[in-house]
Amino acid sequence: MAVSFYNFADLHHKSFRDEIKSRISKIIDDGSFVEGEFNGKFEKEFATKQGSKHCLLVANGTDALEIALQVHGIGPGHKVGVPGITFYATAEAVINIGAEPVFIDVDPVSACMCPESLKRVMKDHKIDAIMPVHIYGIPAPIKALEEVCGPAGIPIVEDAAQAQGTFVDGKPVGSKNNLVTFSFYPTKNLSAFGDAGAILCQDDEQAGIIKTIRNHGRGDANRLGRNSRCDHIQAAVLDLKMKEIDGFNQNRKKIAAMYNEQLKDLAVEILPEHFVESSSWHLYPIKLTSSEQRIGLQEHLKSKSIGTTPFYERAMSQEKALGHYKGEDKVSKDLAGRMLCLPMNPFLTKDHVKEVAKEIANFLN
């Protein structure tokens, strides 16, 4: 039985296609291509859903990270703590605004930023901000990180690119006082038809700065901005998908619980049960004993038409363009090569999950 990693066909079902075609046709007829009615509608609805006062749409998730750092005054001469395992864009955003990334090691269980590593790194580096990532949709330990950063006056920007549907301390990501960034890339839980992103914030002044930066600095003659406006078609797609996202995210949690049940007796490491309800399950990662075993399992599953992806094969410090930056990376380097993400989308069935587990067992045995 073939098991796809993504499933765009069911995500974009006929009734969705019919409605979005109607919306796009109206956008064409109205000539409202940038920042139209669906931008404002989505921003209001998404802010409410995530427990935030403001949602500001931007062009993509990387812009969201860069703009959020700029709101805190981060730029040349500053250092920003980033986790040792994340997508390249997290560190890239820091470099793009002229700051320097400093690697903070990750927790060996969750692969999220480790507060104890942050404490150690802060002894050797003056950290001006940190960007913890809710990697795979797993909630980062924000409360523990705030306890470290708060007394030092270090702002936190939460990278929630994979975390729509994640809950931190029982509340949706975005409910705290930190700036929180999202990507709506087509593979995300809540996704556009192309690039789009957003920043959530609770502060009126910060919201005003974000609006200025995303639109060429308009509204503030003393501030330079950029072109990071979300086009109207992407906003229309996001607004329409909001109607189904809660059900899809609940399906992901059920599928994660099924995976846990099917894999619990196999010689692979899975995430603890308490993450089932708090994670968005953007991805379902398992840990193998070595990178060689991970590669072998991936090839075996591929031969059975089961899609997998090794998010992420290398730690940030092992990327050629980033290897000269400092910090801690021991756990990150150990974990990165051993992680394999199994198929995860809201349309998987119990038979799909059993098939994946069966082939993992066949490989291990």
Write out pLDDT tens, residues 29-86.
999 999 899 999 999 999 999 999 999 999 999 999 999 999 999 999 999 999 999 9
Q: Are 78 and 129 in contact (CB under 8 A)?
A: yes
Q: What is the mean pLDDT of residues 247-257?
A: 98
Q: Are 95 and 117 in contact (CB under 8 A)?
A: no
CA distance 201 to 206: 7
pTM attached to this predicted model: 0.97
Average pLDDT, the chain: 97
Q: What is the mean pLDDT of residues 240-246?
A: 98
Write out pLDDT tens, residues 49-58.
999 999 999 9
Tell me: pLDDT of 286 over 90. yes
Write out pLDDT tens, residues 171-187.
999 999 999 999 999 99
Tell me: pLDDT of 221 over 90. no
In the prediction, which pLDDT does 223 show? Answer: 86
